[in-house]
Amino acid sequence: MTSRPPVPAPSPSTSPDAPGSFEASMKRLSEIVTTLERGELPLEDTIGLFEEGVKLSVAAQTRLDSAQKRVEELLSVDDSGKPRTAPFALRDE
């Protein structure tokens, strides 16, 4: 009987449903891709990892979109060329 490679479990900080850093999410996504590319997992495990990867990808894209919006706000200027100002909202990230 051949043994199957273990399915890497998500750590609490990189679970798609848990808050974590963008970098941690990308690291976990990379681990998932590497595991899936090996093609050694049973179908159900493969689908589960793929689902986790999709959730991480969506969450990472949302974070990137948010970061892009913040940068655009910081770089925006009014019609006279003066920087636009807005109240800074503290975030719990």
Question: Domain total for the chain?
Answer: 1
- For residue 93, being part of any structural domain is answered with no
In a domain, 1, yes or no: no
Please state, in angstroms and rounded to a whole number, the distance separating the CA atoms of residues 83 and 71: 13
Asked, for residue 83, whether it belongs to a domain, the answer is no
Residue 39 included in any domain: yes
- Tell me, what amino acid is at 77? V
Query: Does some domain include residue 38?
Result: yes
Distance CA 34, CA 32 (A): 5
Average pLDDT over residues 18-37: 90
80 close to 42: Cβ distance less than 8 angstroms: no
- Position 44 in a domain: yes
Cβ-contact 27, 14 below 8 angstroms: yes
Confidence band for 16, pLDDT divided at 50, 70 and 90: very low
Residue 62 lies in a domain: yes
Cα–Cα distance, 52 to 46 (Å, whole number) = 10
**Residue whose tokens read 């449903």:** 17
Share the mean pLDDT of the chain.
81
Confidence of residue 4 (pLDDT cuts 50, 70, 90): low
Q: Global pTM?
A: 0.64
Task: Answer whether residue 15 is part of any domain.
Answer: no
Range of the domain at 68: 22-75
